[in-house]
Amino acid sequence: MGIVIRKATAADAPQILAFIRALAIFERAPDAVTATEEGLVRDGFGPNPFYYCLIAELDGRPAGFAFYFFNYSTWVGRPGIYVEDLFVHPEFRSLGIGKALLREVAAVALKMGCQRMQWEVLDWNTPAIDFYRAMGAEFLDEWRNVRISGDALERLAQGTGAQGEAPVLQNGPDGAAS
């Protein structure tokens, strides 16, 4: 039967969550996952999905996944794809599954007119770094990842952070007139 890469369906939510949890264990953050099957179904399989997911199977067994979404480059003036997660179970590594998953995401990117794919890799994950480098990936070491979440996100949205009050929006956050 070999390697099969297919689009995930809502029925795959339990398997997607299992992959996410396995990835979190591998990345040394097993308690960081708060995602739920219900949330995955809600956010990935409605009329306007926030993400897309590919499932890799080897001989009918779930082997790995690629979880991605679209972004947009203002400099290039074109869409791109951000790969949030790429994971292959350890017993299925070195069989071409990770490359097959990335190849399929790349095909989606080209089909949708995207000019690039981006993702992150932990600095200690040398096997993945070597794998990406061998495929021709470019490492953007001069860029820093920035994240705001939790209470800090709430404070920023409410304008109650250390920098003073937020300006009044003339339009709503989606750009539409209020």
Strand partners, 85: 67
Which element (helix H / strand E) includes 68? strand 61-73
Q: Is 82 a catalytic residue?
A: no
Going by C-alpha positions, the residue among 60, 67, 59 that lies closest to residue 87 is 67
137 CB neighbour count, 10 Å cutoff: 16
CB 54 within 8 A of CB 66: yes
Burial zone of 82 (CB within 10 Å; 0-12 exposed, 13-18 middle, 19+ buried): middle
Selecting among 68, 72, 82, 132, the annotated active-site residue is: 132
The tokens of 62 are what? 């779930």
Packing angle of the helix pair 13-26, 37-44 (nearest 10 deg): 110
CB 128 within 8 A of CB 92: no
Residue 28 has φ and ψ, to the nearest 5°, of 65, 30
Catalytic residues: 132
